[in-house]
Each structure stands twice: as structure tokens, then as C-alpha cells.
Amino acid sequence: MEVSSPQSRIVTVLSLVQVIGGIGNGAGLAIGALLIGDISGSDAWAGTATVALTLGAALFTIPLSTLAARRGRRPALTAGWWLGAVGAGVTIGAAVLASLPLALAGLVLFGASTAANLQSRFAAADRAEPDQVGRAISIVVWSTTIGAVTGPNLTGPGAAVAEWFDIPSLAGPMVFSLVAYGLAGLATFLFLRPEPLARATAATPERGVIARALPHVRGRAAVAVLTVAIAHAIMVSVMALTPVHMQGHGAALEVIGLTISLHIAGMYALSPVMGWLTDRIGADTTILLGMSVLVGATALAGTAGHSEPQITAGLILLGVGWSASVIAGAALLTRSVERDVRPLVQGFSDLTMNLAGAAGGLLAGLIVATLGFGILNLATALLTLPVIVAVLTSRRVSTSPGGGS
């Protein structure tokens, strides 16, 4: 990327932090549902792990966005990572005490790290040139790959750590999350300089963030928010119940961890390609590509039955479709909103994204319990239709005479 020195430094630091923080995220995603199932003694509760994580991310999105608008990205991202570390510690304590309410509370706090992770991609775009927004976002998203793929495979070492600390084996990976989030926050606090929002700091909000953001969520920006929310809801719904589905068919914990790892690789590994496509062929086309891949992914996973290779392939495609949709959606949103309110609108988008994910995770558990994993995948495939219609309609309006951009 041909960027100024400050932008290059910002992207480098954010990328390093994503590598570290990704370890914590990966470990939590892989083990959260199993840990809740173990504490509660019922698979029916397993889906609440993802609900708690995504609700936590939603809960902390607006405060972190407000902090970013008032004080800058550095204190906001630092706070998010460190709150995630506290959440990992609380979850470990809940596993020791076998307390379901405490575990869910810990996972809610854990979700603050997800909010920091998501807002990092917008921080990468704060100083980017207009024709490099997609690539700036995608580089930081891609950096999550290393840690996020490693995290789910720490179940084995996590069990050894758990034995060393005399805690339940499923709580072991959370120790890695605690350390990773602590280091991610420290690296952000020390090295994220200059402040990414130096040229884009919004005035201190006098009204609520949502009230200020909503008037700007229209037209192309509304399409971007819808795209990101739907893509995330589809991904979370299928991914959250996959470990439970596989465990019910007798899959080993290591195989489940590998499947989630490859899914996360699909989410992040090709993100530079998605960023390049967004800048090269446009956000609209990249979004439509992402939605098509998501439909293919749900078809593959939903018909996998007991086939571990097929469900793994479906989860990989699920990650790829999410990547294309979210990166293109984030770039479209960044380009569609004025600089002075951008952090607040981006925060609103992340809030919508996480609430959609929480709703998807909650409904996914109910659907699987009553109708099965295949029906869940069919239902999520249908969610792509509103996005496709919105993108095509928006494109037609923006290209028609007098339609604007």
C-alpha cells in the first residue's frame, strides 16, 4: 500500500494487536459453547455462550465508539481489550465454581474484546486514502488470521494448563485469552501512535450516540449496515451450533477445534483479496459475491449429515462469504458517511451487527433443538435475499439519472 508514514505505522500496530488478540478470540469461540454446556449439564444452553459473547460486544460497542469520538481510538481500543481480559478471568472463576450465571456474565465482558476487534478495522481506515479504504480494512482483518486460527487449537495445551492451575479442563483455553487480551491492550496503549482519529475526531456528543447516528444511516450507508448485520447473523447462527452438532455425532474435541480453526481461517485469510476486490470491482459486486458464497456454504453444511469433511468445507465457505460481505460492507459504510460523524455511525453498525449475531445465536439453538441443523442452514440462506434486493435496488437508484451516488 502506498500510504503515508503515520498511516503505515497505524496499520502495522493494529495488525500486530490483531494477531495477539485473535488468539483470545479464537479460544473463546471454540470453547465457549462447550464450557456452558458442561457447566449447565445441557446442550440446550450451549447456544447461549455465543449469545452472551455477541450481546457483550453489542453492549460495549456504543460506549467504546463514544470514547473513540471523545478521546480517540487508542483509549477506546485499549479499554475494550482489557475488559475482555477481565471477562476471561471471570469465566475461569465461573468454571471453577460451576456457576452458569457467572459464566454468562464473564462471556458478556469477554465480548468487549470483540467490540475492540471490530472497531480496529475502522481505525485502519481513519487516515486511508479513499481508493485504499478496502485494502486498509482488509489488512487489519487479515492479521487476525494467525491468532484466531491458533486459538481453537489450544484446547489440548489448554487442558495441560488447566491441570497445572487445578481448574476444569475446558477453562484452560480461557487462560490464553486472558493473557492475550492483556497484551493486546498493553500494545495498543503503548504503540498506537499517532492517534488514528487525529484528522477525524467528532465533536463531543451532546445527544445519544444512536440519536446522532440514525439520521446518517440512509441510502448507501443503510445498505452497508444491513449487509454487515445479515452476514454476521448468518455466520454466527451456523458457526455457534456446529460444535454442538458435531459433538452430537461423536466428533472428537480436536476435530471440532480444527473445524472452527479452518472456519476462522476462511473468515480472515482471504481478507486482502476481498479488500482488493472491493476497491477494484466495487463494494456492490463484492457484497453480492459474498452473499452467493454464504448460500453455497449453508447448502453444503446443511446437507453434511455425519460427514466431517463436508461440514468443514461448508464452514470454510461460511467464513469466506462473511469476509467478502463484511469487508465490502465496512468499506461502503466508511465511504458513505461524513468524516465528523463516522465513528458514531460505525459504532451503530457494529451494534446492529452484534445484536443480529446475538439474535441469530439464540434462534439457532431453538431451531436446531426443534427442527435440526439442516433447517437452520436453510433458514439462514433465506436471510441473504433482503441484502441482495437492497444492493440491486441501491445500485439502480445510484446509477439512474438524478439518482446520486
Q: Provide the mean pLDDT of the chain.
A: 86
Q: Which residues neighbour 228 within 8 Å (Cβ) at sequence distance 6 or greater?
A: 325, 326, 329, 330, 333, 349, 352, 353
State pLDDT tens for residues 217-231.
888 999 999 999 999
Q: Any idea which fold 5-196+208-399 has?
A: Growth Hormone; Chain: A; (1.20.1250)
Phi then psi for residue 250, to 5 deg, are 85, 15
Task: Provide mean pLDDT across the span 40-59.
Answer: 78
Rounded distance, CA 361 to CA 367, Å? 10
304 has a pLDDT exceeding 50: yes
The pLDDT score that the predictor gives to residue 183 is: 96
Task: Provide mean pLDDT across the span 271-287.
Answer: 93
Q: What is the pTM of this model?
A: 0.77
State pLDDT tens for residues 179-192.
999 999 999 999 99
State pLDDT tens for residues 342-391.
888 988 998 899 889 888 888 888 898 889 899 999 999 999 999 999 99
Which of 328-367 are b and which e, b meaning 16 or more Cβ less than 10 Å from the residue's Cβ?
A: bbbbbbbbbbeeebbbbbbbbbbbbbbbbbbbbbbbbbeb
Give the domain ranges of the chain: 5-196+208-399
Rounded to whole angstroms, what are the CA distances from 370 to 108, 239, 304? Answer: 26, 18, 18
The pLDDT score that the predictor gives to residue 69 is: 82
Among 31-35, 59-63, 141-145, name the most confident range.
59-63
Q: How many residues does the chain have?
A: 405
Confidence of residue 132 (pLDDT cuts 50, 70, 90): confident
Confidence of residue 157 (pLDDT cuts 50, 70, 90): confident
305 has a pLDDT exceeding 90: no
The pLDDT score that the predictor gives to residue 25 is: 81
The pLDDT score that the predictor gives to residue 209 is: 63
Place of cell 456457576: 99
The pLDDT score that the predictor gives to residue 405 is: 36
Rounded to whole angstroms, what are the CA distances from 236 to 167, 232, 356, 359? Answer: 28, 6, 9, 9
404 has a pLDDT exceeding 50: no
The pLDDT score that the predictor gives to residue 188 is: 97
Counting residues of the chain whose pLDDT is more than 70, the rounded percentage is 91
The pLDDT score that the predictor gives to residue 222 is: 95
For residues 199 and 192, the model is more confident at 192
Q: Which residues neighbour 392 within 8 Å (Cβ) at sequence distance 6 or greater?
A: 288
Rounded distance, CA 221 to CA 225, Å? 6
Q: Which residues neighbour 171 within 8 Å (Cβ) at sequence distance 6 or greater?
A: 35, 91, 92, 95, 96, 158, 162
Q: Which residues neighbour 383 within 8 Å (Cβ) at sequence distance 6 or greater?
A: 230, 233, 234
The pLDDT score that the predictor gives to residue 254 is: 74
Rounded distance, CA 403 to CA 294, Å? 30
Per residue, what are the HEC states of 295-333? Answer: HHHHHHHHCCCCCHHHHHHHHHHHHHHHHHHHHHHHHHH
The pLDDT score that the predictor gives to residue 204 is: 46
